[in-house]
Amino acid sequence: MNEDCIFCRIVKGETDTKIIKESERLIVFKDISPQAPIHLLIVAKKHIQDITRIDEETWNEIKDVATGIAKARSIPGFRLVHNAGDASLVKHIHVHFLGEVSGERKL
């Protein structure tokens, strides 16, 4: 737990963020500034910085939760985005789940 970390505060239930899904090591909630019709954040309960520090179990669980969301909501295509190090704004590991995105993109 990092007192200054917004995602740690969400994990602790200190905000009014609606938790959409919870698993052993993760929570899922909507991104506050959506960049796609469906934009969820899959967030570790533990304060881990990013993919360079993550354990295999948590990383595998991210895969399971992401594919589980797509299956449960019948989302035919989705993107997963992870920003690490200086590329991230919140230094608490999360993966962006972006659904209903167009296939006509450069990246």
* Tokens at 34, concatenated: 């959506």
Residue 49 binds ligand AMP, judged by CB under 6 A: no
Of 29, 38, 35, 36, nearest to 92 by C-alpha is 29
Q: Which does 88 bind (CB under 5 to 8 A by kind): Zn ion, ligand AMP, none?
A: ligand AMP
Q: Of all helices (H) and strands (E), which one includes residue 59?
A: helix 56-72
Q: Which does 92 bind (CB under 5 to 8 A by kind): Zn ion, ligand AMP, none?
A: Zn ion
Count helices and strands in the chain by DSSP H and E runs: 2, 5
Active site residues: 94
User: Residues in the site for Zn ion, rule: CB under 5 A?
Assistant: 2, 5, 7-8, 47, 92
User: Residues in the site for ligand AMP, rule: CB under 6 A?
Assistant: 6, 17, 31-33, 41, 83, 88-90
